[in-house]
Structure 1
Amino acid sequence: MRALLVVNPAATTTSARVREVIGTALSSDLKLEVATTEYRGHARDLARRAAESGEVRVVVALGGDGTVNEVVNGLLHHGPDPDGLPRLAVVPGGSTNVFARALGLPNDPVEATGALLDALRADSSRTVGLGLVSGTEGTEDEGVPSRWFTFCAGLGFDAGVVGRVEQQRELGKRSTHALYLRQVARQFLADPHRRHGTITLEQPEQDPQSGLTMAIVCNTAPWTYLGNRPVYASPEASFDTALDLLAVRKMSTMSATRYATQLLRSTPERGLTGKNALTLHDLTDFTLQSQAPLPFQVDGDHLGLRTSATFTGVRRALRVIV
């Protein structure tokens, strides 16, 4: 079986030696081509060419959630076709690896490679639903290219935190829990919209809901991890349904502390609750509009400021080896 291994050499939890071991192991069962990414978006381009070739049966992403997101966007460049496109396989190599862990894969890259080889030999795979976000017609974001996401997107506070963490990592800081928590505190103190939300949720045949200060769109649960602790923003979110939405209308110091505590204690049965929390399940189509430009992120990748984003939940978008 012909396969492409897309390797991110900057993946934070793998060394050159580990990547070589993984490539050798996969070569024992696959006719493997190895490609190392050289620039932002390169994994997307490699996966797109593999899909268009009609010869590659499996594309393996070795890296973090950003690498996986690029590979997914390359595979789905011409739209979903779970039975016609190459299957996706993931070997986690980032600091969090939400998508891989949500699929049930070990977080250790060598162990995950062993699980992947077992799945290939058993011809074991599943289809997953994905989210698609695009620019909203009639707004300044109308021409923004569409982007697929595997586990989450966010407008407002959480995206601001992601942007701050990225800035620190570009300065050479390691991605640690302490770094993340510091940026949460700084974003909270600096956010001018946390008390008076600027976001409006619009759904077909539904009244708009305005005054939202933050919106997190989930495609699966958990939403993220703090080390080995899973965090469930939308416990009902699943790869088998469309999208879930968690939004907050305002964040005072007291309510933010309460929400943080709830998230740290969240479980598959219990997420975030409260009179200023809005939770919606299995949404196929909706739009978020903001009166002011807000930070925006997709799968943990900060994409700058946006005033609008239109979301579509696509069931059975891609076949994944598990």
Structure 2
Amino acid sequence: MTASAPDRAPSASFDRAVLVFNPGKPGMAARINELQRELSAGVPDLQIDLLPTDFAGHARDLARSAAATGRPLIVSVSGDGGYNEVVNGVMDVPGSRAVCTVLAAGNANDHHRSMPAKPLPEAVREGRVRHIDLLRITFGEEQPAQVHYAHSYIGFGLTPLMAIGIESGGKGKFLELLSVARTLSHLRPFELVRADGATARFDSLILANISRMAKYGTVSESGGPDDGRFEVVTLPHSGRWKMALMTLRAVTLGLGNQPSVSSYAFTTRDAVPCQIDGEVRHLPAATHVRVESAKGALAVI
């Protein structure tokens, strides 16, 4: 996908770089030390703050606090799930002047793969900030509603089950393939009631702000992360062979152009797993879900 033109002139500056990371991840200490050296050499006047996380969800708290003051560049040294926490922390602060970026340190790193990348010191020196869309997902119709943001995708059915299977089955290409095969054999379809009252039965539903997902393949050849729309990739319930062929096509040729929308709403008829940027949660039956494109919501480099 193509990125937007810069929204801010190269004179834009940050008052500090805030590195958010999980210190318990293997190799993270060396990665952070190297990153500090690179930033100090490339941008010697830049203040660098280190914010290690202590527990799941802590990155959101740390990002929220950092985003509340000044003009920070918040760097998530993580995978998609860690970056999701950082993004939601920034979105918790209305009017924040924070700018985000992610340095891949996870398993899938879908967002990092889908965005243009430069060495961080070079990007900081240039100071070119652009705005990308987020997916805003609202659960329930009561007030206050539960609102969450996704930087890359939201998946129902197949994608979260694949993530659960891979996590329990182990990392590595061979183990991951075995896990995916087991997932396909145990997949159960789910039903959604759309806003028009029609019922649809799916094996998989993906709402994507990016073109490629590491555990699924190329899901779309159209759209961009800044066009105010997202792609809807559906797999109606069918036989196992058809589902396997679609998955094979996604990881080899890609699925081609997909329909895009600015909002998508439904109510779950069954309990269904949901994956938001790599993190899995389970939705009970009769949950109202609305996904909207939050155009230009996140400032990034």
TM tier, smaller: 0.7 to 0.9
* Among 6, 9, 18, the residue aligned to 2:23: 9
TM-score w.r.t. length of structure 1: 0.80
Q: CA deviation at 1:56?
A: 4.2
One-letter code of the match for 2:150? F
Aligned to 1:102: 114
One-letter code of the match for 1:123? G
* Among 120, 125, 128, the residue aligned to 2:129: 125
Cα distance in structure 2, aligned partners of 1:102 and 1:94: 15
* Among 259, 271, 278, the residue aligned to 1:280: 259
Q: CA deviation at 1:101?
A: 1.5
Cα distance in structure 2, aligned partners of 1:15 and 1:73: 23
Cα distance in structure 2, aligned partners of 1:122 and 1:200: 48
8 Å CA contact 1:130–1:317 kept in 2: the answer is yes
1:57-95 alpha-carbon deviations (Å, 9 max, x no partner): 21111111111110000000134x5xx421102211112
Aligned to 1:109: none
Quick check: 1:225 aligned with 2:214? yes
Cα distance in structure 1, aligned partners of 2:176 and 2:290: 28
Q: CA deviation at 1:216?
A: 0.7
Q: CA deviation at 1:251?
A: 3.0
TM-score w.r.t. length of structure 2: 0.85
Aligned to 1:238: 224
8 Å CA contact 1:50–1:56 kept in 2: the answer is no
Cα distance in structure 1, aligned partners of 2:245 and 2:145: 36
Q: 1:40 to 1:218 in 2, by over 3 A?
A: same
1:187-245 alpha-carbon deviations (Å, 9 max, x no partner): 2221232xxx412343xxx67462223211101112x126xxx9211222421122211
SS of equivalent to 1:213: strand
1:122-167 alpha-carbon deviations (Å, 9 max, x no partner): 11221110101111316xxx87732110111111121112123334
Aligned to 1:316: 296
Quick check: 1:69 aligned with 2:62? no
Cα distance in structure 2, aligned partners of 1:40 and 1:123: 31
* Among 41, 44, 51, the residue aligned to 2:60: 44
- Tell me how large the CA RMSD over aligned residues is: 2.3
One-letter code of the match for 1:133? I
1:120-199 maps to which residues of 2 (within 5 A)? Answer: 120-137=124-141, 145-168=146-169, 173=170, 175-193=171-189, 197-199=190-192
Cα distance in structure 2, aligned partners of 1:200 and 1:158: 20
Structure 1, unaligned runs of 5 or more: 106-111, 273-278
One-letter code of the match for 2:159? D
Aligned to 1:294: 272
1:109-120 maps to which residues of 2 (within 5 A)? Answer: 115-120=119-124
Cα distance in structure 1, aligned partners of 2:224 and 2:238: 27
Aligned to 2:98: 86
Q: 1:15 to 1:47 in 2, by over 3 A?
A: closer
Cα distance in structure 2, aligned partners of 1:181 and 1:162: 12
Q: CA deviation at 1:294?
A: 0.9
Number of residue pairs matched by the alignment: 281
Q: CA deviation at 1:305?
A: 3.4
Q: CA deviation at 1:121?
A: 0.8
Q: State the identity as a percent.
A: 22
Q: 1:143 to 1:292 in 2, by over 3 A?
A: farther
Cα distance in structure 2, aligned partners of 1:290 and 1:27: 50
Q: CA deviation at 1:301?
A: 0.6
